[in-house]
Amino acid sequence: MTSPRTMDTAQASSRLHELIVLDVRTPGEYATGHLPGALNIPLDQLDQALPDIRDAAGRGDILVVCASGARSENACHTLAAHGIATATLAGGTGAWAAGGHALHRPEGGGRIAWSMERQVRFTAGAVVLAGLALGRLRPAFRLTSAGIAGGLVFSAFTNTCGMAAVLAKLPHNRPCQVDLDLTLAALRDH
């Protein structure tokens, strides 16, 4: 599998007015700040959006964005498998903000959700600590901690994260169908 085209923040910034930007993070993460004009199509909803993304690709270049670039790279591979050419933002919104570029934050967005990376770190750490603490009572609980450690190593080697996939299904991370419909309508009008 070849790597998708990447665009650095300077390139993306100079072309932002002409790019169709798709943010594949969860709605909660998207609400914490996204590239100006970015449309939120969560990674787990990408298949539903394929026809509209294909149409949009015929009208302009598509830049796919996430927090660090890992999920957007996976999205680019998925889209490429369906004949849709895209680019990913190197370093994601983290690199965008670090480069001094503004992130759009909706007004009155309410509570700020944690990034998926932060949710994974918290959950993994909490499960490891619980496994170690309960391991004092029953040594078999330490296997839970070992399982999480093994999962983190596997995640690093494959550039995927099963825990993030599970956490993305939690209510605060799960997109509403109505929101996806509105996003797809905006994509059609782009």
133-174 tens-digit pLDDT? 999 999 999 999 999 999 999 988 888 888 988 888 888 776
3-state secondary structure of 108: coil
- Please answer whether residues 71 and 42 qualify as being in contact, where contact means their C-beta atoms are separated by less than 8 angstroms: no
15-61 tens-digit pLDDT? 999 999 999 998 878 888 899 999 999 998 999 999 999 999 999 99
91-128 tens-digit pLDDT? 999 999 999 999 998 765 555 667 788 889 999 999 99
pLDDT of residue 113: 67
- Please answer whether residues 21 and 15 qualify as being in contact, where contact means their C-beta atoms are separated by less than 8 angstroms: no
Tell the CATH topology of 5-113+175-189. Answer: Oxidized Rhodanese; domain 1 (3.40.250)
- What single-letter amino acid sits at 164? A
Q: How far is CA 32 from CA 25, 80, 83, in A?
A: 10, 28, 31
Burial of 189: CB neighbours in 10 Å, binned 0-12, 13-18, 19+: exposed
pLDDT of residue 103: 92
Grade residue 178 by pLDDT with cuts at 50, 70 and 90: very low
3-state secondary structure of 164: helix
Q: Is the pLDDT of residue 2 over 90?
A: no
pLDDT of residue 18: 95
Q: What is the arithmetic mean of pLDDT over 5-13?
A: 95
Grade residue 89 by pLDDT with cuts at 50, 70 and 90: very high
Q: Is the pLDDT of residue 72 over 90?
A: yes
Q: Is the pLDDT of residue 1 over 90?
A: no
3-state secondary structure of 8: coil
**Which residues belong to CATH 3.40.250.10 in the chain?**
5-113+175-189
Nearest alpha carbon to residue 187 among 31, 26, 53, 43: 53
pLDDT of residue 171: 80
